[in-house]
């Protein structure tokens, strides 16, 4: 990719053109958004997208079901300040959460606190 250097005047001109295009686009959308034709086209597009991706969403949910259960269980124990009990009782669930980086380990949290304390 070629690197281009723009001076301040060119940058301002590019930004002005961009803002004008965005405003024109927004005006056009506001004009047509309430028309029956637009609503019908938009519904048809959304319906088509839903039917094309229904199985993909279902698969994603099925793949994440165990993770979501583990995360919810961990959050339950965390609210009651029983995180250590969760780790001992469900080591496999805890490892799954660690693999997915659901939460910071204590060493990461300590490092973050150390960094913020010295900033």
Average predicted confidence (pLDDT) for the chain = 86
Q: pTM for this structure?
A: 0.45
- Encode the chain in three state secondary structure: CCCCCCCHHHHHHHHHHHHHHHHHHHHHHHHHCCCHHHHHHHHHHHHHHHHHHHHHHHHHHHHHHHHHHHHHHHHHHHHCCCHHHHHHHCHHHHHHHHHCCCCCCHHHHHHHHHHHHCC
Whole-number pLDDT of residue 4: 79
Residue 100 predicted with pLDDT over 50: yes
pLDDT in tens, 16-57: 999 999 999 999 999 999 999 999 999 999 999 999 999 998
Indicate the domain borders of the chain.
8-117
């Amino acid at each position: 990719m070629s690197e281009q250097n723009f001076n301040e005047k060119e940058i301002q001109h590019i930004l002005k053109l961009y803002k004008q295009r965005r405003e024109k686009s927004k005006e056009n959308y506001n004009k047509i958004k309430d028309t029956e034709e637009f609503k019908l086209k938009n519904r048809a597009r959304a319906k088509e997208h839903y039917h094309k991706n229904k199985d993909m969403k279902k698969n994603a949910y099925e793949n994440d079901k165990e993770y979501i259960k583990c995360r919810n269980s961990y959050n339950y124990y965390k609210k009651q300040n029983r995180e250590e009990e969760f780790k001992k009782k469900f080591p496999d669930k805890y490892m799954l959460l660690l693999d997915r980086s659901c939460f910071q380990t204590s060493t990461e949290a300590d490092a973050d606190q150390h960094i913020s304390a010295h900033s």
